[in-house]
A and B are shown apart, each in its own frame.
Chain A
Amino acid sequence: MKIFINFGKGFMTTGKTTKMVLFLFVINLLFSLILAVPMYNSLKNSLGASEAGNRMVESFDYIWWEEFRDEAQGLETTFTPSIIGKGAILTNLESLIQMRFFSAPPILIGFGLLYIILHTFLAGGILSTFNQDEPRFAVKEFLQGAGSHFLRFLALMLFSWLFLFAIGAFLHNAILPIIDDISSDSYSEVIPFLLMLALNVIAFFLLLFVQMVFDYARIKAVLEDENNVLKATGKAFRFVFKHPFSTLGLFYLIFFLNIAVTVIYILVKETIPQSDVLTVLAAFFLQQLFIFALIWIRCLLYASQWELYRYLK
């Protein structure tokens, strides 16, 4: 019940601060557009005045793409058919869980890192917006809040990387060799497949768990003005272990909401042919709506956890 009450409260809070979500969305869009410009030029130059352009509007010209891929440099190497629709989500999921982003083009790694740091900054704004008697979004207060929590949040982020690194190192150095051993003596690919899948699922859930604990650490830092990062983290762990059902329950409720929205997006997106200006625009707006929804859900997670934390304290 606690879960649903606080989910509801969080939902209301996020609803009231939708302007903030819009603000965050615009930042995401602008940031991405910086890279989209060179990508647009690459595509434009490669397609030129060729009929391949027509074929790329009708559907996908595989022969053109192979030519593009064989010449691709840097950012261009990320343009593959596997970023279409569901592929985009699966690609990102895989590169997060398997830490494949290290093999991304350097410019993308740099940008990603910058964005993560920027978002750490913004998280301070999000939480300080919620930390009002009547949550209301105003850019000035938002940025003030963001600024005042930034260093602590940055430290928390680096600290969380330690955990992630430890988890990654453990899975990679202790568990993976065991799976490799089993694989090299297995009758078929089925067992290795299942073991690898399980490992990925475990890695993902541990990753989410660390995220959740550090969410509470950030909430604690803002709500109780806790300056000591170690203390905040320790208390966040204690809080989560003290209330495992409500914290995890709330987290996974919102996590499954995220999945539901993603699945709906994929299904709707697949029905849009993107073969003329109208449908291309329709797909574009749908994509933006999806990103907006994801950011909204991220804020919902913060707001609900915020409410839960206050409720349980």
Chain B
Amino acid sequence: MFKKYQAFSFFLALLLFLLPAASQETFCKQIANYTMDVKLDTEAKMIKATEILSWTNDTGYSTNELWFHLYWNAFQNNMSTFLTEAERRGRSVSGFKKDDWGYCRVESIKVVANPYFQEYDLMPFLEFRYPDVENLYDQTVFSARLPNAVRPGQTILLRIEFESKVPRPISRTGVYKDYYFIAQWFPKIGVFQDGRWNCHQYHSASEYFADYGTYNVRITLPSTFVVGTTGEHREKIDNRDGTATHHFYQHSVHDFAWTASPRFLEYTENYEFAPGKQTEITLLLQPEHERLKDRYLNAVKNAIKYSSLFYGDYPYSTATCVDPAYNSRSGGMEYPTFFTGGAYFLTWKGIPRPEGVTIHEFGHGYFYGLVGTNEFENAWMDEGFTSFLDTEVYYTAYKEPLYNRSFFGIPVTFKDVKIPIESDGISSHRQTYNMDVLQRFAWEFLEGGSYGANSYSKAELMLRTLKRFMGEDIFARMIKAYSQRNWFKHPQPRDFYTVVSEFAGRDMSWFLDQFVYGSDKLDYAIGKISSDREKKPEGWFDGEYIKREIEANRYQSEVIVRRLGEVKLPVEILVVFEDGNEVRETWDGQYRWKRFVYQQPSRVQKAVVDPEFKLVLDINRTNNSQMRKPNRLAPFKWVSNWLSWLQHALEFFTILGG
């Protein structure tokens, strides 16, 4: 009986995995493969599921334990590492009632017999682990000790029964009314790397890391629900009991998230983003946002088209964009082939919403999805690269956005105030540049603002500076090569360094180190400009007394350029004379300042350091130029605008007086 069952279950598992995997060519080694049968109980807000995991040890080391994430346990009490850190960042949860907390509990976990292993119950050998923070209330990571090691090249098969309670919306997960957003919801195996398990606890300021594999998922839920997930929707079976079972499948991805709601408007379109290359776009829209359908779809199309052009053709057959429900806290998040945007029902031309967030989250499909950056450890290589991607795509596909402000909930744009690409992120970088360095574990930044400003803004600004420094063409080839060469590879900072140096034709660590491992500021300035008539020679010259009376018709001009920050980069200087003559200089930026002296027939009109605006990381751009004659109209113009606001304010507020 036992042997029979063993043989049967092995055969079953083989069928479950090999059939779907063989039916389609995959893009990479499928290390962690999940076949899941999921039931969503919308009354109890519970998920009950069976997970069959096939994991292959693709390293040169053996391991006699397996480590898993149980992310949702971060939401089971307020003492978890996630919620402790969230509180420190001023984002504590409050008012959670008994039914609002969420969790993920393993009910059973067994090794399924296969040629390498015998059937074995692992339940007695589970242990919660604290690799980052010793916090006994935290149950977001557990390990299972195996009876014998998984040797290099071997595959182990596990059958896990688990139960997840869907929390009230928190951190892109949960249920709000009848909208479910389900992410990081199942026992998920960590990454075995260099003989160690890379499996961090769930942190408030951190995202995820996992190996690639195939997800074969069946979800049963009320038949009125529209479902969206990672990957392809293979079929929907009506169970004739008010429920339906949806089957989804995707290979070569490292996560699986899903959403369900009876209210979604669903739009599907095939989109050819390059000759002969197409993908199926699905948009799940809130009914209140119906008028935004085209803006959303166009944003997804632009994202696919330009990301493919800049970072390699999008390889998956689907891209699903979810317009998150109000109050669901699920907006602006990425999962493989599946992402959430975010919109407000009122938006006009010039306001980059929902476009900005849609492009950003699709863009994660590259540096989080395809490249598989370790977001716990190298957040900047995902968020920074993706922020760079989203602005590059946005400014290619659309006009410069306009400054806008909301009055009484109605957004109002200011057509005279265009927001240039160079401004993206510089303000937050300016305020946090000396708090942290880029390369740091996501939960180890001084504060939430510094995590954001470094991982998103500084990294984006560094890439844009690098782009302009290397030259657009070389950079474009470099960044595409970095992306494509590292698909499915989990690159480290050094892998990026290698590609940059290769395309630059020289070692570029001197450039990158200053930003990746440094926390100094970049600030060049024009220190001083002056122009005077050349002096008349007067005194003894070679024994002859000379005093020249005639005024020279030439001017002696001086330009002093200063380096106010510690970051050293070579920089260009443009000096313009009043007769229109222009002189261009370069300076290595090594010492603190440099003086340039000219004898010219006319005076200096202005001097500009970094005239092409290559160094977008420069935290003070205003001091990069000096004119000999300041523009006097500018302060008058703007104080007069401000004055009329003040006059109106004073007059208006007399409503309160008499």
Contacts and interface: CB of A to CB of B under 8 A. Distances in A.
B426 A66 contact: yes
A220 interface: no
A67 B621 contact: yes
A299 to B, nearest CB: 12
Nearest to A126: B658
Interface string B8-41: 0000000000000000000000000000000000
9 contacts: A47-B635, A53-B634, A53-B635, A59-B418, A90-B412, A187-B325, A187-B326, A207-B655, A276-B633
Contact of A92 (B409, B418, B626, B648): B648
A39 interface: yes
A81 B414 contact: yes
A140 B258 CA distance: 78
A245 interface: no
A contact patch SS = helix
Given A91-B645, A187-B325, A200-B408, A52 B652 contact: no
A214 B658 contact: yes
B606 interface: yes
Given A31-B650, A87-B412, A190-B345, A63 B423 contact: yes
Contacts of A298: 651, 654
A159 to B, nearest CB: 11
B623 interface: yes
Interface stretch (A8-16, A114-122, A170-178, A303-311): A114-122
Contacts of B652: 92-93, 96
Interface residues on B, range: 35 or more
A29 B646 CA distance: 9
A87 B405 contact: yes
A160 B654 CA distance: 12
Interface string B410-430: 001011111110110011001
B467 interface: no
B414 A84 contact: yes
Contacts of A164: 656
Given A284-B640, A298-B654, A112 B649 contact: yes
A177 to B, nearest CB: 14
B108 interface: no
A291 interface: yes
A53 B408 contact: no
Contacts of B326: 186-189
Interface in A52-75: 52-54, 56-57, 59-60, 62-64, 66-67, 69-70
A144 interface: no
Nearest to A114: B650
B622 interface: yes
B540 interface: no
A295 B641 contact: no
A30 to B, nearest CB: 10
B630 A70 contact: no
A299 B345 CA distance: 41
Most A Cβ at <10 Å: residue of B326, B344, B430, B638:
B638
B608 interface: yes
Interface residues of A, number: 97
Nearest to A284: B640
Nearest to B639: A40
Interface in B322-339: 325-327
A58 B143 CA distance: 64
Given A56-B637, A79-B642, A188-B326, A49 B651 contact: no
A156 B658 contact: yes
Contact of B646 (A35, A46, A62): A35
A96 B637 CA distance: 26
B454 to A, nearest CB: 17
A60 B415 CA distance: 10
B431 A70 contact: yes
A94 interface: yes
Contacts of B628: 49
A60 B417 CA distance: 5
A283 B640 contact: yes
Contact of B658 (A40, A157, A190, A287): A157
Contact of B650 (A32, A93, A120): A32
A291 B648 CA distance: 6
A136 interface: no
A36 B650 contact: no
Interface of B: 177, 263, 286-289, 325-327, 344-346, 403, 405, 407-409, 412, 414-420, 422-423, 426-427, 430-431, 606, 608, 620-631, 633-658
A91 B408 CA distance: 10
B622 A47 contact: yes
Contact of A57 (B288, B637, B645): B637
Contact of B631 (A57, A82, A92, A185): A57
A161 B656 contact: yes
A229 to B, nearest CB: 12
Contacts of A93: 407, 652
A130 interface: no
Nearest to A27: B650
Contacts of B412: 82, 86-87, 90
Most A Cβ at <10 Å: residue of B346, B422, B657:
B657
Contact of A51 (B286, B409, B608, B649): B608
Contacts of B627: 49-51, 53-54
Nearest to B625: A51
A204 to B, nearest CB: 10
Nearest to B289: A188
A62 B417 contact: yes
A43 B635 contact: yes
Nearest to A295: B651
A81 B288 contact: no
A66 B423 contact: yes
Contacts of B644: 88, 284, 287-288, 290-291
Given A51-B608, A94-B408, A291 B651 contact: yes
Given A48-B622, A70-B431, 19 more contacts: A29-B647, A33-B643, A35-B646, A47-B634, A50-B630, A57-B634, A62-B418, A63-B420, A63-B423, A66-B427, A78-B642, A92-B648, A92-B649, A94-B408, A115-B650, A119-B657, A123-B657, A197-B409, A283-B637
Most A Cβ at <10 Å: residue of B407, B628, B658:
B658
A57 B632 CA distance: 9
A28 B634 CA distance: 24
Contact of B625 (A36, A50, A157): A50
A67 B423 CA distance: 10
Given A36-B642, A70-B431, A87-B412, A63 B418 contact: no
B263 A115 contact: no
A234 B277 CA distance: 78
A137 interface: no
Contacts of B289: 188
B651 A28 contact: yes
A228 interface: no
A63 B422 contact: yes
A211 interface: yes
